[in-house]
Structure 1
Amino acid sequence: MTNAKSEPIEAVLFDWGGTLATWHDIDLYDVWRSVARLVDEERADELAAKLVAAEESVWLRSRDEHRSSTLEEVCLLAEVELTAEALTEYDLQWHPHTELAPDAAETLRGLRARGLKIGVLSNTIWPRRRHEEIFERDGILELIDGAVYTSEVPWTKPHPEAFRAAMTAVGLTEPARCLFVGDRLFDDVWGAQNVGMRAAHIPHSAIPTSQIGHTEGVPDATIHELTDLLKLIDTWNSH
């Protein structure tokens, strides 16, 4: 078996929320309440509660069964049909929480300058279009060689196939040559290591207790700024 720690890193794969994007605590009910009032103002509280319950159910399924979902499925489970106006409001509600980490662009440019592939693997119910709009807004879309959004595939992290799909998206076949970077010890660290990747942990996110899985991985490295990756990879790749 290949020793992952003896292989040079050729690709860095990133989680999105809490990693490339800064962590924010979200009041899910407030988000959905603002959306629901545009569907039916008189039933806004009722609809918001149903939407929250539906979204929480798909994230619990992700945690326990590693099966993916979509925004459309959440609405179907809640028996709520969003209008175009409501969908626009949904995006507006989330907009402040999609802020790019201050050193993300610098880090990605540094990785690109080193000739490394850059990928994204995000557990998300949002479509690819929404993520690419955010990356385009922040000037990093052209720095990403491949991305997997779980809304498009059957699995979520930490399922091995999610990581393999992300590796394939950047054109690699050997997990030992990939480093995964994320803020969750279950989804990101344990999941990546389970397929033979190395994993770096950014420990700044307040992960909700209900989203913490059955196992916490022990990261190969802990970093406190994304730019720390550059020195870390230089050290690993010089051996």
Structure 2
Amino acid sequence: MDFAGAYSTDHLKFLWQGLEVTLLVALISIILSFIIGGAIGTARYARIPIISNILAMLVETIRNLPLLLIIFFTYFGLREVGLKMPVTMSVIVAMTAFQSAMLSEIIRSGLNSIEKGQIEAARSSGLNYIQTLRHIVLPQALRRMVPPIVSQFISLLKDTSLAVVVALPELTHNAQIIYGHKDAYVLPMLMILAFTYFVVNYALSLVAGRLEVKKG
């Protein structure tokens, strides 16, 4: 093992560049999947005829596919039909699609968790369906959904490492390049990868824990 060589300034700078890509891809995917997943989850909760059934079928299909397969599809499969995207964009599309399906279920379940009595009371007081959803259902549901949503975001951040298969220059990919030059770098690189992912994800876990306490 060569810790001194593995953790040279150039190597650490290269790893930092990979971490920046990891965080960028994760952040964009989180924002997009929250918007799309929120729209899908709300639409399914509203039970819009036909649309709700189509969305349910789409969500269940994506949820039951491996994320790795979706990444392969967006990067390699779409190229076969003439839709070529840069590797970063293809990974963002794949992760957004997968996480949107996951988040839509969390959001739908959160909305369904609100007691029917509150909804009936709001409607009887003169609020229409949209007003009831906006002022009564959503504020309470969001508080209940925050911890599982944060947990899903943690999973998303870890799943960015799967993009190494399409050579996205993220953290794991850059670490592989470094230890590919010298066997003595393998363990040091694996250790710093584990430490980095742990620190970032543990910080997010603390956020989820604090939100859970506040919710209680």
What TM-score do the two structures reach when normalised by structure 1? 0.28
**More strand by proportion, 1 or 2?**
1
Larger radius of gyration: 2
**More helix by proportion, 1 or 2?**
2
What TM-score do the two structures reach when normalised by structure 2? 0.30
